């Protein structure tokens, strides 16, 4: 089993522990201190965040820059061993990580366990990539008397700016990739979830990664802006909203500095298409998981379900039945399916969205909230009927599922409408007709297409994850090309003839 009794006892013991996040090299004159509270009960403090000052940011980047050539020179094998030691340390602190996922980010036990698993998978996978890509130069072809080879090296100092919805996995994943490639890393976790990031960084240091190589800089948006406007930053790995990615892109471009790399993984307006050949029980299970697991706070989550009209009434009835059985409440309770959303801003935005649809007269079904939800940022899971994905202006990041109907013969139009959102992250398809699958595969502009299953929970290495268009730059996290984006290529060409090529012509 994933969870054993001793773990539950340890989680109970950790319920009152207070945590802190501060810059890796703190100054005596501290920046602002902010409380971190639980989304499920905003009166409960989990710890405090001490924001990095502009001076601390500047000094951190200086240290990272000074040590980067040494880290790069260490080579792929030694960096791999350090990342693997960090993975072992993460596994040895399972209870602390799960506790923080639950208390700081409001994750259910299942989501917290999966998150730690993914974090460890990222560390081990990118360790493998360090070995595969950075072990030895790649020989290139050339004429006799000439030796050509290509080596990969880190780009320099990479910034990693990460989201609250995967406060551990997507904090450590991009950082590990950048480290594997020989970069040093300045990491700014989401302002809502710095505590779990601070534990992750501390364990990486204990595992042997030098403090200057991987530094934490907690803070809100201004800290991120100070980092991305620094001319010494060679690249940024960002996961979060499309708007913030665009702002980072502008900030990097405005610098009088070498052109920086931006690896961005952003939002989605993810659909699922269900035709009348689909198996209803399977669809029901996969729709509920895709839309409501993690309270819908995954960029991969299902937002718009398209059901073929001849089966729509029956299918929606079944989905409503499963939806009515979801257990909503405190994520610390073991049987909870849907916990809170991250904060009050997220809650009120989602409520405004639902209220607007109600005013428009759309059919809306909502679950009631339990009594204990009062003190927290809970949004009642909601299903809304709409006519088309075109009715939605933006991504609604939470437990809100939209349902639309389509007629036989409209499949291509539905795909065109989904493509026209400009996003391209996940798409689900439930169909047993091979021709339908071929059409969707051919026409849909999405990064991850899931057929006859749910559309969340991409597994490192098996399902490299990431989108196109407004959904991000690629390449896919956990895939074979990701680490390459963090590296620069160098070619060495050696003339191996006795006197040297051109020199012998002149002689
Ligand atoms: C995100 O929500 O920011 O496949 C991306 C999944 C996750 C999504 C992570 N890997 O559900």
- Across the chain, which has 507 residues, the per-10-residue mean pLDDT values are 77 96 91 94 97 97 98 98 98 97 98 98 98 95 94 98 98 98 98 98 98 98 98 98 98 97 98 98 98 98 98 98 97 95 98 97 96 94 98 96 97 98 98 98 98 98 98 98 98 84 55
Report the candidate in 36, 25, 427 with the shortest Cα–Cα distance to residue 211.
Answer: 25
Ligand 1 atom nearest the C-alpha of 456 is 11
User: How far is 502 from 388, CA to CA, in rounded Å?
Assistant: 67
Report the candidate in 323, 310, 327, 313 with the shortest Cα–Cα distance to residue 284.
Answer: 323
Structure tokens at 371: 């009594």
For 250-381, strand residue ranges (E) read: 261-265, 271-274, 304-308, 364-366
Ligand 1, pocket residues at CB < 6 Å? 163, 165-166, 170, 239, 298-300, 456-458, 465
User: How far is 194 from 480, CA to CA, in rounded Å?
Assistant: 29
**Which residue's CA is minimally distant from atom 6 of ligand 1?**
457
Residue 339 CA, ligand 1 centroid: distance in Å: 17
- Counted residue by residue, the chain has a size of 507
Pocket probe mutation, ligand 1, options 164, 193, 465, 466, max atoms within 8 Å of Cβ: 465
Question: What's the pTM?
Answer: 0.96
493 given a catalytic annotation: no
User: How far is 447 from 426, CA to CA, in rounded Å?
Assistant: 6
**Which residue's CA is minimally distant from atom 1 of ligand 1?**
299
Contact at 8 Å (CB) between 419 and 388? no
Pocket probe mutation, ligand 1, options 115, 458, 473, max atoms within 8 Å of Cβ: 458
**Which residue's CA is minimally distant from atom 5 of ligand 1?**
299
Residue 360 CA, ligand 1 centroid: distance in Å: 31
Residue 180 CA, ligand 1 centroid: distance in Å: 21
Options 101, 204, 299, 377, the catalytic residue: 299
Count Cβ neighbours within 10 Å for each residue of 95-113 and write b for 16 or more, e otherwise: bbbbbbbbbbbbbbbbbbb
Residue 256 CA, ligand 1 centroid: distance in Å: 34
Ligand 1 atom nearest the C-alpha of 239 is 3
Contact at 8 Å (CB) between 41 and 375? yes
Strands 146-154, 487-495: pairing is antiparallel
Tell me what pLDDT residue 503 has: 55
Residue 323 CA, ligand 1 centroid: distance in Å: 22
Q: Residue 254 class from Cβ within 10 Å (0-12 exposed, 13-18 middle, 19+ buried)?
A: exposed
Structure tokens at 27: 């100054």
299 given a catalytic annotation: yes
Options 56, 65, 212, 265, the catalytic residue: 265
Report the candidate in 150, 126, 161, 151 with the shortest Cα–Cα distance to residue 233.
Answer: 161
Tell me what pLDDT residue 112 has: 98
Return the bridge partners of 394, or none: none
Contact at 8 Å (CB) between 241 and 266? yes
Tell me what pLDDT residue 150 has: 97
Structure tokens at 312: 């729509």
Tell me what pLDDT residue 156 has: 98
The angle, 0 to 180 degrees and rounded to 10, between the axes of the packed helices 76-92 and 194-206 is 120
3-state SS, 179-192, equals HHCCCEEEEECCCC
Ligand 1 atom nearest the C-alpha of 301 is 11
Residue 300 CA, ligand 1 centroid: distance in Å: 5
Q: Is 158 left (phi over 0), alpha (psi -120 to 50) or beta?
A: beta
* Distant-in-sequence, close-in-space partners of 84: CB < 8 Å, separation ≥ 6: 123, 124, 127
Q: Residue 232 class from Cβ within 10 Å (0-12 exposed, 13-18 middle, 19+ buried)?
A: middle
């Amino acid at each position: 089993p994933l969870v054993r009794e001793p773990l539950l006892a340890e989680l109970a013991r950790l319920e009152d522990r207070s945590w802190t996040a501060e810059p890796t090299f703190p100054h005596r004159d501290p920046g602002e201190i902010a409380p971190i509270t639980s989304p499920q009960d905003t009166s409960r403090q989990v710890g405090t965040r001490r924001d990095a000052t502009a001076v601390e940011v500047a000094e951190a980047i200086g240290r990272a820059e000074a040590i980067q050539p040494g880290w790069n020179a260490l080579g792929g094998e030694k960096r791999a061993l350090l990342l693997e030691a960090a993975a072992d340390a993460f596994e040895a602190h399972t209870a602390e990580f799960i506790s923080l996922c639950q208390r700081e980010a409001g994750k259910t036990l299942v989501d917290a366990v999966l998150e730690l698993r993914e974090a460890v998978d990222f560390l081990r996978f990118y360790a493998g990539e360090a070995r595969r890509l950075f072990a030895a130069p790649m020989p290139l072809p050339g004429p006799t008397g000439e030796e050509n080879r290509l080596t990969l090296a880190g780009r320099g100092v990479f910034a990693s700016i990460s989201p609250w919805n995967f406060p551990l996995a997507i904090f450590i994943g991009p950082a590990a990739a950048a480290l594997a490639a020989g970069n040093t890393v300045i990491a700014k976790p989401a302002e809502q979830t710095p505590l779990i990031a601070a534990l992750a960084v501390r364990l990486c240091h204990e595992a042997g990664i030098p403090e200057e190589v991987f530094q934490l800089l907690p803070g809100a948006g201004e800290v991120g802006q100070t980092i991305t406007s620094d001319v010494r930053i060679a690249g940024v790995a960002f996961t979060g909203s499309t708007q913030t990615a665009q702002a980072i892109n502008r900030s990097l471009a405005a610098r009088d500095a070498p052109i920086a790399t931006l690896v961005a993984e952003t939002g989605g307006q993810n659909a699922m298409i269900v035709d009348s050949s689909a198996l209803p029980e399977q669809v029901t299970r996969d729709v509920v998981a895709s839309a409501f697991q993690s309270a819908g706070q995954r960029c991969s989550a299902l937002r718009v379900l398209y059901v073929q009209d001849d089966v729509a009434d029956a299918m929606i009835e079944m989905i409503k039945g499963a939806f009515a059985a979801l257990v909503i409440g405190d994520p610390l309770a073991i049987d909870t399916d849907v916990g809170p959303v991250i904060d009050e801003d997220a809650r009120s935005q989602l409520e405004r969205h639902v209220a607007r649809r109600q005013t428009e007269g759309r059919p809306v079904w909502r679950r009631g909230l339990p009594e204990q939800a009062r003190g927290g940022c809970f949004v009642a899971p909601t299903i809304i009927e709409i006519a088309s994905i075109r009715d939605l202006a933006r991504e609604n990041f939470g437990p809100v599922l939209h349902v639309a109907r389509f007629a036989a013969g409209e499949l291509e139009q539905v795909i065109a409408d989904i493509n026209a959102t400009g996003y391209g992250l996940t798409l689900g398809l439930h169909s047993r007709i091979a021709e339908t699958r071929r059409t969707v595969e051919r026409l849909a502009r999405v990064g991850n297409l899931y057929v006859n299953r749910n559309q969340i929970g991409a597994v490192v290495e098996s399902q490299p994850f990431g989108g196109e268009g407004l959904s991000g730059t690629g390449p896919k996290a956990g895939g074979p090309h990701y680490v390459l984006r963090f590296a620069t290529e160098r070619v060495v060409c050696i003339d191996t003839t006795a006197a040297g090529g051109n020199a012998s012509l002149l002689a």
